A = this chain, B = another copy of it.
Amino acid sequence: MKDIKKVNIMRVKGDGIWEEEDIVVREYPFTIYVNDKELITLLCSPDSLKELTLGFLYSEGLISSLSDVDQITIDEERGISYVYINRIDPFNEEFRGKRTITSGCGKGTVFYNVIDSFRSKKIEKPMYVPADKIKGLMKEFNENSKLFRETGGVHSCAMCNLDGIIIFKEDIGRHNALDKVLGHALLEGIDTKDKIILTSGRISSEMLIKTAKRQIPVIISRSAPTSLAIEIAQKLNITLIGFVRGEKMNIYANFPSVTF
């Protein structure tokens, strides 16, 4: 299914008014069933649905590796993902009891408890990133975002190393875009411990937590972080960089990891 949809709009420019065809971003309800029970409905862009399913389940702590998944079937037409996992029962009280809705553009996680994040594992292996590389990666990242230029309605997320972008995904939700990237890495068996996450969106606590769960040492955004994201990054030794625009950037956590 296409990520975009054609609609007829009335365009107004000064005193001019005319009807014309425009392109908007598609918002697609996507329901995940786990072991034959409905877990959640995500509102997303209708691509990389297998990656989104896996990334979401991992971020929520329902799986910790591909081997936890026995089967995954996507029904794109009906917007449903049927997953069979052999690890934990997502419907037990442990998960029912943890419902958090995030502030983040993207989505709230239903089961996550923010306070838990401070107990997450610290980054063991630091990664040093030259400031010039960061500027170059963000430039490459911005040039990749075709859907945003078309619709102005999506967020981009990428996983990269110092040589460039390895995975690039777009979604109406920035949390979905990150889960798609993380799900893709899981599918392809890509080691995340020496990678960098780039996002177009604001970095809230949940973006940080998803990154920390994969032991990714660096997260970079072209926009702002929140106070809680900075606190978690400092606590877990994650390098957090925001407002990377042209020759400028702000380093919010783990200063020494950026080299000049």
Contact = CB atoms under 8 A, between A and B. Distances in A.
Nearest to A177: B103
Interface in A174-191: 174, 176
A173 B171 CA distance: 17
Contacts of A255: 10, 19
A interface bracket (residues with beta carbon within 8 Å of B): 35 or more
Interface of A: 5, 7, 9-15, 17, 19, 22, 24-29, 38-45, 96-97, 99-110, 113-115, 131, 151-153, 171-174, 176, 201-202, 204-206, 223-230, 243, 247-252, 255, 258, 260
A122 B113 CA distance: 37
Contact of A131 (B12, B100, B205, B249): B12
A225 B104 contact: no
Nearest to A247: B14
Contacts of A38: 97, 99
A171 B27 CA distance: 23
A41 B101 contact: yes
A146 to B, nearest CB: 15
A12 B258 CA distance: 10
Taking chain A's interface residues, is the majority helix, strand, or loop, or is none over half, making it mixed? mixed
Given A41-B114, A224-B24, A103 B251 contact: no
A24 B227 CA distance: 6
Given A5-B227, A27-B227, A227-B27, A43 B101 contact: yes
Contact of A29 (B43, B100, B172): B100
A43 B104 contact: yes
26 contacts: A9-B251, A9-B252, A11-B251, A12-B248, A13-B248, A14-B248, A15-B260, A22-B250, A24-B224, A24-B225, A24-B226, A24-B252, A25-B226, A26-B226, A27-B227, A27-B228, A38-B97, A38-B99, A42-B100, A43-B100, A43-B103, A43-B206, A45-B103, A103-B107, A103-B172, A152-B224
